[in-house]
Structure 1
């Protein structure tokens, strides 16, 4: 049977054998290599520098022997690294144990090898004495004990340094992961809040279209459909921008008000007063739409009198004040501060949530009643540089 062209054979994934380098340093590779070679490299330079002020016989041969001994120390420290890797998931107690008894054994081993290497006067590249039987009776055991303590101190210091840096690296990795999750969650929250459009607006606009068609006002109905389509396109697919300029925001809201004026041609009047300095200020997209929706809903829809809506934007010192005022009064709970606007509706809660997610406590929403009989909602925004950044 001929296989269906839509079904593709599964790709065979070849398992790659980890390289020798990866197997030698499976965890915290860069940290382990840099710390091991850094510690013993510094030790080698310090010991070698003694030739500058302590006369030594056959210094060339001693230099080669120090290279050999440093290589052995690096190998032993790598063994300690592998021991620490083995117990990395078993808690701090297991790590402390590895830095006690096993590290003592390794330090004594280094001290014994050091005695064997440096207890002979040999030529430049003469290592034949290393193949001879070891004469422990000829050892300077006081020197061995002294050297064992020194090497133990170096190994423990390296181990503590490695564990501290490894823990710090893990914490940083977790913080980066946490910040990434926070960024994704905040981005999702902001987009969800942005797309909480009032469905009544869409229903009312469609009802207006239906009424215009019934009244055979096809030209106005066509214009209303075009305006509605342009507005929805700007809201939902306008580059998916989270931040836009005041000028762009005002243009979107004017388009919204023009749609509403098709429903209330005689009763809805609006005015825009934006100073030039505020036009290029970045603000969250659709941040004032709930304020205008409330003005239309509680102003035009709830009364038979004409309604004036005034949209204004001013830059005062280092803050932007963007306000929506309409005829009427707003009820402000006396037990709540004005900048909380608690319990005043989903739209205002939406604004507060977005401001808090973007600016923390640096932005606020204010509700007030003016002396000339207008309800005023004002959003105060700081400089855009104070928006939460993802580190």
Structure 2
């Protein structure tokens, strides 16, 4: 059993602290006795005191459990009264033990002397009570914290799924519209090729869990499927260029993170020019970061505060939201490409399946 499991198991954790605390009390008391010239038999007195303290303080746990839902003032009153009552009993036992073992059956002249030094015992019991309530409140706060984290995690998962599945209808509409156009102009061969590629792409999209990351190799394969669909539509007007570092093939990234960026490039750079253009995809590693870049050589666009003025769809905004949900440290920068076009750079932590 690890420490986390021990802390989460309240009953086991209580016994661990209760027994460990009284063992510690005996050890500290023993070290203190070394400062005085006491006989060896005093060790038995120390052991009996710790043992009696462990037994007498134990009922306090059940008293405090009953009083847990009372008002703070009543709880404080219960703690003081219970601690003093337990301390009084403990001190009487301590005195009797000390007199019987260390002083060989000594008896005091007045019965109230049996309770002498009970204030010192009261402080010990009060400290035990304070630790009990402090640890119990800490456990409650940890449980509430776990509930909040779990609720936030569920909310993030729901948001991620919404953002991810938002892409499919958006992309599907554009592709079906292109297929419809090809059919209308009797380009049945091209339309059939697009339908085939579309089915492969959608199968990949549905097979991949939106909550799980994929490798760069898998993401590029999905991107290639999408671009193959567009190649049927644009033919030679669409040129592709890939630069992928070998050490990045197994790096992890969110699934379908590149497709909406490529779709933007096709819509505003390739389709907007009669001669078409080139889409470049670069993946590299820099220190502990994975760098992704998609650029085009189209007519460009007005960039204001890192956002495209032309961007009115879900592509770029969707990508930003997904990255913000998945990573604490990331960047998405939109800039002008040289000599023309737009460039989108994404930086995320470099992770692999083994990490």
Distance 1:249 1:99, change over 3 A: same
Query: Does the aligned pair in 2 maintain the 1:36–1:77 contact within 8 Å?
Result: no
Could you tell me how far 1:232 is from its partner in structure 2? 0.7
Task: Give distance in 2, aligned partners of 1:384 and 1:171.
Answer: 32
Task: Tell me which residue corresponds to 2:299.
Answer: 328
Q: Which has the larger radius of gyration?
A: 1
Task: Give distance in 2, aligned partners of 1:342 and 1:119.
Answer: 90
Could you tell me how far 1:169 is from its partner in structure 2? 1.9
Could you tell me how far 1:171 is from its partner in structure 2? 1.9
TM-score (norm 1): 0.73
Task: Tell me which residue corresponds to 1:195.
Answer: 165
Task: Give distance in 1, aligned partners of 2:315 and 2:263.
Answer: 8
1:65-121 Cα distance to aligned partner (Å, 9 max, x none) = 877765553333122222221222335444432332332122223333444565558
* Structure 1 position 359 matched with structure 2 position 292: no
Task: Give distance in 2, aligned partners of 1:118 and 1:317.
Answer: 68
Task: Give distance in 2, aligned partners of 1:245 and 1:325.
Answer: 21
* Structure 2 counterpart of 1:312, from 278, 282, 285: 282
TM-score (norm 2): 0.80
After superposition, residues 227-242 of structure 1 pair within 5 angstroms as 227-238=197-208, 240=210, 242=212
Task: Give distance in 2, aligned partners of 1:140 and 1:156.
Answer: 25
Query: Does the aligned pair in 1 maintain the 2:208–2:255 contact within 8 Å?
Result: no
SS in 1 for 2:303: coil
Distance 1:200 1:29, change over 3 A: closer
Query: Does the aligned pair in 1 maintain the 2:238–2:278 contact within 8 Å?
Result: yes
* Structure 2 counterpart of 1:256, from 223, 226, 237: 226
Task: Give distance in 2, aligned partners of 1:85 and 1:357.
Answer: 41
Distance 1:222 1:80, change over 3 A: same
Task: Tell me which residue corresponds to 2:4.
Answer: none
* Structure 1 position 33 matched with structure 2 position 33: no
Distance 1:317 1:308, change over 3 A: same
* Structure 1 position 55 matched with structure 2 position 16: no
Could you tell me how far 1:231 is from its partner in structure 2? 0.3
Task: Give distance in 2, aligned partners of 1:351 and 1:41.
Answer: 58
SS in 2 for 1:366: strand
Query: Does the aligned pair in 2 maintain the 1:342–1:349 contact within 8 Å?
Result: no
* Structure 1 position 370 matched with structure 2 position 337: yes
How many equivalent pairs are there? 339
> Over the residues paired in the alignment, what is the CA RMSD in angstroms?
3.5
After superposition, residues 377-388 of structure 1 pair within 5 angstroms as 377-384=344-351
Task: Tell me which residue corresponds to 1:5.
Answer: none
Could you tell me how far 1:230 is from its partner in structure 2? 0.8
More helix by share: 2
Structure 2: 5+ residue stretches without partners: 1-8
Query: Does the aligned pair in 2 maintain the 1:271–1:311 contact within 8 Å?
Result: yes
100-109 or 204-213, which moves further after superposition? 204-213
* Structure 1 position 80 matched with structure 2 position 50: no
Structure 1: 5+ residue stretches without partners: 1-26, 130-135
349-358 or 269-278, which moves further after superposition? 269-278
Distance 1:86 1:160, change over 3 A: same
Task: Give distance in 2, aligned partners of 1:205 and 1:303.
Answer: 19
After superposition, residues 129-144 of structure 1 pair within 5 angstroms as 138-139=109-110, 141-142=112-113, 144=115
Task: Tell me which residue corresponds to 1:275.
Answer: 245
* Structure 1 position 186 matched with structure 2 position 153: no
Could you tell me how far 1:259 is from its partner in structure 2? 0.7
Could you tell me how far 1:343 is from its partner in structure 2? 8.6
SS in 1 for 2:57: helix
